[in-house]
A and B are shown apart, each in its own frame.
Chain A
Amino acid sequence: MSQPKEIFVRLDRCVGCHTCNIACTVEHSKSKNLFESISEHPTPKNRVYVEWVPTDHKVPVLCRHCEDAPCMHACISGAISRTEEGVVITNSDKCIGCWTCVMVCPYGVIGRHLETHKAYRCDRCPDLKTPACVDACPTQALVYRTVEAFSGDVRQDAARKMISEERR
């Protein structure tokens, strides 16, 4: 079985440009076009957050689609479920806007859409091969890989660093 891909964040590469925000919002608009999306109703919503921590760290945060997703189990209307690909999704038709998911998400990445009275979050862009935020990131701070491939990259990176230190 092929491993599902996930969105990984490489904190050392984020420069805080917020390009991911725009790409995410546009992808979650009806028109999928930046200029038209601005005037759409309901307002399309961004689902990836670039936080800032002093002294000067940028931290992109988005839904981790947790293995034991607290939001899914806490939902009082059965609106949250997991797809075959492992993506935790909120079914807007079933969401009653009670915000229990907002209360239990330990990452703080579930938003409240005030116009539609529905909760929203990263859906990993079901219509795209690569999620919009990952595709748009100019520094590859966001990557879309399997756990195996990503941890392989991390290992290789560490090994490379060790070798270059030794050569110095």
Chain B
Amino acid sequence: MVAKQTRYVIIGASAAGMAAAETIRKLDSKGSITALSKEQDMPYFRPMIPFMITGKKKFSEMMLIGQGPYQSANINVRLNSTVEAVHTTDQTISIKSGEELPYDKLLIATGSRPHIPPIAGIEAEGVFALRTLSDARAMALRAERTKHAVMLGGGLLNLKTAFALLERGLEVTLIIQSPEVLSQLMEPNDATLIRDALIRAGLRMITGCSASRILSDANGVNGVLLDDGREVVCQMVCIGKGVRPNVDFLGQSDIKVDQGVVADRFTACNTLNVFAAGDVAVTFDSTTGERIVTGLWTNAVEMGHCAGRNMAGQPTEYTGTLGILNATQVADVPFVSMGIVHTSGTDYETYVASAPKAYRKLVFTPDGAKLVGALFVGDISRAGLYRYLIREGRAVKGIKSFIIRRQLHYGHILKETI
């Protein structure tokens, strides 16, 4: 008897979805894998879209399939396919075109979308929230007739977008409510070196302020009115106020949603044969155990791999992730932020060292036994070792002084182990 081919259906063809597809294909050479994307472009490395604004990279250089670990053949990617509903009892999904697609195993990997705050006038032309390649293309087009762009929000996405626009020769003003940039990834005192780098790079910054109205005329945006009464003239506005999971299409289904899609430790949802991974899934922080929704490419890939294994019949526990797990370079300053780094008003044992070109903060449990967070600005070498310790939750007794002084290397960990 020929075994029945498993029909794997994946909603969302980005980090989590494609990582899952890759894993499934390795474990099951026969089953059919269909990944549905509502976008018009083949899967691409989403974090690279600012390069579409600078024009430094072509779309072909951002494509995902055939690059890095994404080498598997026979994954059917369907574009322009918005899923409208999931019917868990008869195991089918409804696509906007009217088609019903049956599945044996379903992965929800619909990712997230930008959070758009309710600001008057926000629907004007020239207001962007960068998420997709289409958004980036539209921004690049608008940039051609923009002299001054205003960024609302000081998160990583907006900083990257700001740099892309600066590179194109635009004037850019960042408007942030918090006293410093990157408030999700570090505390105000931690951000000094980064702020200096931003200013050196030509970015203007207005802190402690928010937009109360976006002004526009027939040509679209022409200014932003701030809550202190100031008016900033601009021809483009970018919103970077975080993301929200894409769960609206699950409204009618019996799949449990709480902020995001609720998945258990084996990435499974509450209904049979349905799994969730990536930005859309509610997962947990491996250090605190808290339920979190993250918006990170790296996390999405990892969870996607795990879901793929579970879908292909290899039960695999997801070990959780760190809610904060970011590395990047802002202007000429690299930084890494991992685990618990917001320590004001807590009793975490915290060590901070500040030098003209480097800053570090190491956070241990209140009893000092385990490393739970690390922030490096300027010098990020060997950051992975610290991530390893945070993630494993290992007692650090013998190597603690090396950690605090940022001298840790693999030799120390090896000697601790053997």
Contact = CB atoms under 8 A, between A and B. Distances in A.
Interface stretch (B79-87, B111-119, B295-303): B295-303
Contacts of B47: 76-77, 98
Nearest to B392: A106
B297 A76 contact: yes
B301 A73 contact: yes
Interface in A47-100: 49, 51-53, 57, 59, 61, 70, 72-82, 94, 96-100
A103 B325 contact: yes
A136 interface: no
8 contacts: A61-B409, A73-B305, A77-B45, A79-B67, A94-B61, A103-B336, A103-B338, A108-B381
Contacts of A102: 327, 336, 380-384
Given A74-B301, A77-B48, A100-B298, A52 B327 contact: no
Contacts of B67: 78-79, 81, 94
Contacts of B61: 94
A109 B410 contact: yes
Given A103-B336, A103-B338, A112 B48 contact: no
Contacts of B410: 49, 51, 59, 61, 107-109
Interface string B391-407: 00000000000000000
A93 to B, nearest CB: 9
B3 interface: no
B302 A108 contact: no
B294 to A, nearest CB: 14
A110 B387 CA distance: 14
A99 B410 CA distance: 18
Interface of A: 49, 51-53, 57, 59, 61, 70, 72-82, 94, 96-100, 102-112, 117
A127 B328 CA distance: 32
Contacts of A110: 384
Interface residues of B, number: 42
Contacts of B249: none
B384 A104 contact: yes
A13 B301 CA distance: 40
Closest CB pairs A-B (n = 8): A78-B67, A108-B382, A59-B411, A51-B411, A103-B327, A105-B384, A78-B68, A76-B47
B384 A107 contact: yes
Nearest to A9: B414
A78 to B, nearest CB: 3
Contacts of B334: 99, 112
B298 A72 contact: no
Nearest to B66: A78
B329 interface: yes
A108 to B, nearest CB: 3
B17 to A, nearest CB: 14
Given A61-B410, A78-B45, A103-B338, A112 B381 contact: yes
B397 to A, nearest CB: 15
Contacts of B68: 72, 75, 77-81
Nearest to B418: A11
B48 A76 contact: yes
A15 to B, nearest CB: 15
Contacts of B325: 103
Which of B19, B69, B328, B411 has the largest count of A CB atoms less than 10 A from its CB? B411
A57 B45 CA distance: 42
Given A102-B383, A103-B380, A49 B409 contact: yes
B120 interface: no
Contacts of A52: 411
B58 interface: no
Contacts of A70: 384
A102 B335 CA distance: 11
Given A51-B409, A74-B301, 19 more contacts: A49-B410, A57-B411, A61-B411, A76-B48, A77-B68, A78-B64, A78-B67, A81-B67, A96-B48, A97-B329, A98-B47, A99-B336, A100-B328, A102-B381, A103-B336, A105-B384, A107-B385, A108-B385, A110-B384
